[in-house]
């Protein structure tokens, strides 16, 4: 039977003509495509020597850097399935994910060590720990593992539709689910976003503030540059505005991948660069729908649009997006070529033009299912179609307009209200930095909108809640305005930047 290993593909396509070209720049140095290939083969050899067998699993609990790329591709090269998780989780989270995945090995680093170290010795399946950086006593350093390894020159004979990697869902509505992606799904990304939206080439340098452990960042920072010969900048720490500005100035990337909350924070920062300081040609956004006001202010500052798109863990990366030269803020644009979309009502019928429905996606990058969660797999993967859990409508031009997660939608006076629509209007007020809208019962038990707001500046001595109510009423139908306002220092968010509205709904 024909074999295909996506790690071999991503490495081999660069060696004939780009072996000496810089592939990755991280906080410690620069690495050519040729150097990466040697590192990958050595880590694959290390795993085999440590007892790895094909289809065994290894947890990657790492900050972004060359060791993450090496461990991920080295595992796939050896036929081992990397399971990529957020390194900023709690000890209880790490214990659950290590047990649920039945990983025989973990690669971790200093950022995660205080939380993950206490649970490592109690794991039933874990046999091997590798540490990126200066290793604690009794642990193997990643650099030492590479130096001592016999390189595995031939990749494992994997097949296109067998498991390649796992990514865990955020778990915002329950325990995180291990989402299984095949080799063919990973390679299928290359015909979508980097080619159709970015026109990415070896002349580009990219920088993703979104991290490698989840789908958006994994495509941005690993698959896309290797698939096209571009150079990628990786950053280990949190993507604060100051840290992002430092890398935009120092490395002059042509592509920047961000999320809405980061763009907003950058626009409010004192050290915001001027357009002349940077070399950007494209900026992208995903993870949460982009408020129109943020996109418009960014365009006014830098002269380039933010391309808003949506993806999901189940589809691995963006499948619906605005395009260069064809941006309409407040919409998520059109589906990528090769992607089919439909909007369904609660009965499973397609909605009429302009009506809100749940988005279903059909495309080659869909996951094969969830690990050991047959019930959830059946709910989400419907033959060739994948349920997104997101509500959309289409405008008169056929563009998709985000309305919110299915669980977040409100029914006010019997009519659906999109929390995102109300939040977007609130964000246009100069005193609002961030906003989240949820349903809240009035004294009669009827659901009405309630807003949680982070202010951009102090507003003492003013009836700011009254001003914001009138601001929303001036733009939207009267029944959509928030009846109550809570002013908070920060909104709860997932590691990928999504607002956790369910936490707000359950506040007392």
**For position 180, what pLDDT does the model report?**
98
**For position 445, what pLDDT does the model report?**
74
Tell me the pLDDT of the chain averaged across its residues. 94
Residue 121 neighbours by CB under 8 Å, 6+ apart = none
Distance, CA of 315 to CA of 86 (rounded, Å): 19
Which residues of the chain have a pLDDT value below 70? 170-174, 413-415, 508
**For position 171, what pLDDT does the model report?**
53
Distance, CA of 313 to CA of 315 (rounded, Å): 6
**For position 323, what pLDDT does the model report?**
98
**For position 74, what pLDDT does the model report?**
98
DSSP 428-461: TSTTEEEEEEEEEE-TTS-EEEEEEEEESS--TT
Q: Which domains does the chain have, with CATH numbers?
A: 6-187 (3.40.50.980), 192-405 (3.40.50.12780), 410-506 (3.30.300.30)
Separation of first and last alpha carbons in the chain: 59
**For position 508, what pLDDT does the model report?**
60
Residue 358 neighbours by CB under 8 Å, 6+ apart = 343, 344, 345, 387, 388, 389, 390, 391, 406
CA distances for 130 relative to 13, 61, 138, 427, 432, angstroms:
29, 10, 10, 45, 45
Phi–psi pair at 117, nearest 5 degrees: -55, -45
DSSP 377-444: HHHHEETTEEEEEEEEEE-TTS-EEEEEETTT-EEETTEEE-HHHHHHHHHTSTTEEEEEEEEEE-TT
**For position 341, what pLDDT does the model report?**
98
Coil, strand or helix: which one is 361? strand
Structure tokens belonging to residue 377: 């797999």
Distance, CA of 502 to CA of 123 (rounded, Å): 31
Distance, CA of 266 to CA of 245 (rounded, Å): 8
**For position 169, what pLDDT does the model report?**
84
Instruction: Provide the 10 A C-beta neighbour count for residue 151.
Output: 17
- HEC secondary structure over 289-305: CCCHHHHHHHHHHHCCC
Helix (H) or strand (E) run with residue 143 in it: helix 142-148
């Amino acid at each position: 039977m024909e074999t295909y290993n996506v790690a071999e593909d991503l490495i081999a396509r660069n060696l004939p003509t780009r072996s000496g070209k810089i592939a990755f720049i991280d906080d410690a140095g620069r690495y050519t495509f040729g150097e990466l290939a040697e590192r990958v083969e050595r880590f694959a050899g290390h795993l085999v020597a440590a007892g790895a067998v094909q289809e065994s699993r290894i947890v990657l609990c790492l900050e972004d850097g060359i060791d993450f790329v090496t461990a991920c591709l080295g595992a796939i090269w050896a036929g081992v399935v990397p399971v990529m998780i957020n390194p900023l989780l709690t000890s209880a989270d790490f214990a659950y994910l290590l047990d649920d995945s039945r990983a025989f090995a973990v690669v971790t680093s200093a950022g995660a060590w205080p939380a993950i170290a206490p649970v490592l010795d109690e794991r039933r399946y874990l046999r091997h720990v590798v540490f990126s950086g200066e290793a604690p006593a009794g642990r193997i350093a990643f650099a030492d593992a590479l130096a001592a390894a016999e390189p595995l020159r031939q990749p494992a004979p994997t097949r296109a539709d067998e498991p390649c990697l796992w990514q865990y869902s955020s778990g915002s509505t329950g325990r995180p689910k291990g989402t299984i992606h095949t080799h063919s799904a990973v390679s299928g990304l290359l015909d979508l976003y980097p080619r159709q939206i970015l026109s990415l080439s070896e002349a580009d340098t990219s920088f993703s503030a979104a991290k490698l452990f989840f789908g958006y960042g994994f495509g941005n920072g690993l698959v896309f540059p290797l698939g096209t010969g571009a150079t990628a900048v990786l950053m280990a720490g949190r993507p604060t505005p100051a840290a992002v500005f430092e890398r935009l100035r120092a490395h002059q990337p042509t592509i920047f991948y961000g999320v809405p909350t980061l763009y907003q924070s950058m626009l409010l920062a004192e050290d915001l660069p001027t357009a002349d300081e940077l070399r950007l040609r494209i900026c992208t956004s995903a993870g949460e729908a982009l408020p129109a006001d943020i996109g418009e202010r960014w365009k006014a500052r830098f002269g380039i649009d933010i391309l808003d798109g949506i993806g999901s863990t189940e589809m691995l990366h963006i499948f619906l997006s605005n395009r260069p030269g064809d941006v309409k803020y407040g919409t998520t644009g059109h589906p990528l070529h090769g992607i089919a979309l439909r909007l369904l009502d609660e009965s499973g019928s397609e909605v009429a033009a302009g009506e809100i429905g749940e988005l279903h996606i059909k495309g080659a990058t869909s996951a094969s299912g969830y690990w050991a969660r047959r019930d959830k797999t059946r709910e989400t993967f419907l033959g060739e179609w994948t349920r997104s859990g997101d509500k959309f409508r289409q405008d008169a031009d056929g563009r998709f307009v985000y309305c919110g997660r299915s669980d977040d939608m409100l029914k006010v006076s019997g009519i659906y209200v999109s929390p995102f629509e109300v939040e977007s209007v609130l964000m246009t007020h100069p005193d609002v930095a961030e906003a989240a809208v949820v349903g809240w019962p009035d004294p009669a038990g009827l659901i009405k909108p309630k807003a949680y707001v982070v202010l951009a500046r102090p507003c003492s001595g003013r009836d700011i809640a009254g001003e914001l109510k009138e601001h929303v009423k001036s733009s939207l139908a009267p029944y959509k305005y928030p009846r109550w306002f809570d002013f908070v220092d920060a909104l709860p968010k997932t590691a990928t930047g999504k607002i956790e509205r369910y936490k707000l709904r359950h506040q007392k």
